[in-house]
Amino acid sequence: MKSTKFSLATKLSKAEVDRKWWEIGDFFRRNSLWMLMYCTGCCAIELPPAMTSAYDMERLGMGPMATPRQADILLVSGYLSLKTLRRLIYTYEQMSEPRYVVALGSCPINGGIYHDSHAVINQLDQYIPVDVYVAGCMPNTESVMNGFVDLMGQIKNKQANGWKKYHENFDWYKANQITSLGEVDVHDEFHE
């Protein structure tokens, strides 16, 4: 016998159920962002004030993590030399999904003051997808924090899809990596 007062909700399709679960997951994900700090360049100096009592990153649920497996954000702080980029790509591929990339400073955007160097790349988003750029040389701590808040907003609005893009355009990214780096893996006496 069916109650007249409460009618059962219409049966949701699988896609809708998945979407609902995804939104719940997004809530948790944006409130607990763990960073892997790949301190590649000088912008890393902005992180200590961001973490300690001046700006207190922990109140947003953020914190540093030791390994890429545990982390959500790959934090690229500063210029990327060719050698670092190889390791960065390797690390990025080891992270668990969903994963986000935040790049600090002007060097990952257009090369910055190293735009004509033979050893430093010019544009990070050609090799891995970047969700948030924080411009400045170097960006001050408020803008770094603002970048993280922007990322949270993007996750909420389902715009932080860099990791999906990486899957969709995997061949394009790989081709770019190979033009600039040759093979990503290095085989020589120091790695055998």
* Site residues for other proteins per CB under 8 A: 24-25, 28-29, 31-32, 34, 38, 52-53, 56, 58-61, 64-72, 82-83, 86-88, 90-91, 94-98, 109-111, 115-119, 121-123, 126, 176, 179-183, 185-189, 191-192
Retrieve residue 157's tokens. Answer: 């609005």
To other proteins, the closest distance from the beta carbon of 94 in angstroms equals 7
* Shortest separation between residue 188's beta carbon and other proteins, angstroms: 6
Q: Which is nearer to other proteins, 123 or 143 (CB)?
A: 123
Q: For other proteins, which is the closer residue by CB, 102 or 177? A: 177
**Comparison of 62 and 138: residue with beta carbon closer to other proteins:** 62
Residue 142 CB, shortest distance to other proteins, in Å, is 16
Least separation in angstroms between CB 12 and other proteins: 18
Is the CB of 2 or the CB of 93 nearer to other proteins?
93
Pick 81 or 143: Cβ nearer other proteins: 81
Q: In what order do the strands lie in the sheet with 100-104?
A: 63-64, 34-38, 73-77, 100-104, 132-134
Q: List, in order, residues 6 or more apart from 104 with CB less than 8 Å away.
A: 43, 46, 75, 76, 77, 78, 134, 136, 138, 139, 144, 147
Cα 47–Cα 78–Cα 61 angle in degrees, nearest 5: 35
Task: Answer whether 103's CB lies under 8 Å from 76's CB.
Answer: yes
- Give the nearest distance from C-beta 1 to other proteins in angstroms: 30
d(CA 16, CA 144): 35
Per DSSP, the three-state class of 176 is helix
User: 3 vs 157, which CB is nearer to other proteins?
Assistant: 157
For residue 101, the one-letter residue type is V
Rg (CA), the chain: 20
| Least distance from other proteins to the Cβ atom of residue 35, Å | 13
